[in-house]
Amino acid sequence: MKRYDQLGCFPQWVLSDIAGTSMSTDCEMSNILGTYANTLYMPEQVTYEADNTLSLPIADLPFEMTDKSSWSSVLPMFWTRQHVLEWISYHVEKNEWDASTIDFSCCNMDGSMLWQLSREEFLTLFGGLGEKLYNHISELTSSFLSDWKQLSDFFPEDVQFDNPQDTYSQISSSDADVDVELSYIKASLNDFTSWDMPLQSSIENEYFQTYSPSSDGSSSGVAVNSPQSEGYGGSESDLERTDSKSDLSVDTSNFDESILKQQKRKRGRPRKMSKDSRECLESKKNKHSARGSHLWEFIRDILIHPELNEGLMKWEDRSEGIFKFLRSEAVAQLWGQKKKNTSMTYEKLSRAMRYYYKREILERVDGRRLVYKFGKNSSGWKEEETLSNRS
DNA sequence: GCGAATTTTCCTGTTT
DNA sequence: CAAACAGGAAAATTCG
CA of A352 to C1' of C10 (A): 15
CA of A306 to C1' of B12 (A): 38
Spatial CA neighbour of A300 closest among A372, A228, A192: A372
Rounded to whole angstroms, how far apart are CA atoms A391 and A389?
6
Rounded to whole angstroms, how far apart are CA atoms A134 and A121?
9
The strand pairing partners of A314, in sequence order, are A324
Whole-number pLDDT of residue A388: 52
pLDDT at A67 over 70: no
CA of A141 to C1' of B5 (A): 43
| A268 conformational bin, left if phi > 0, alpha if psi -120 to 50, beta if neither | left
The H-or-E segment that residue A201 falls in is helix A199-202
Q: Look at A27-41, A112-126, A375-389 and tell me which has the smallest mean pLDDT.
A: A27-41
Spatial CA neighbour of A271 closest among A186, A210, A208: A186
Residue nearest to nucleotide B6 (CA to C1'): A294
CB A369 within 7 Å, strand C: yes
Tens of pLDDT, residues A349-382: 999 999 999 999 999 999 999 999 999 999 999 9
3 state DSSP class of A313: strand
CA of A305 to C1' of C6 (A): 30
Tens of pLDDT, residues A198-209: 333 332 333 233
Kindly indicate the confidence band of residue A178, based on its pLDDT and cuts at 50, 70 and 90: very low
Rounded to whole angstroms, how far apart are CA atoms A391 and A388?
6
What are the backbone angles phi and psi of residue A102, rounded to the nearest 5°? -105, 135
Instruction: Report the b/e string of A287-315 with b at 16+ CB within 10 A.
Output: eeebbbebbbbbbbbbbbbbbbbbebbeb
Q: Look at A37-51, A281-295, A367-381 and tell me which has the smallest mean pLDDT.
A: A37-51
Residues with CB under 7 A from strand B: A 294-296, 335, 339, 341, 343-344, 347-349, 351-352, 355-356, 359, 367, 369
CB A293 within 7 Å, strand C: yes
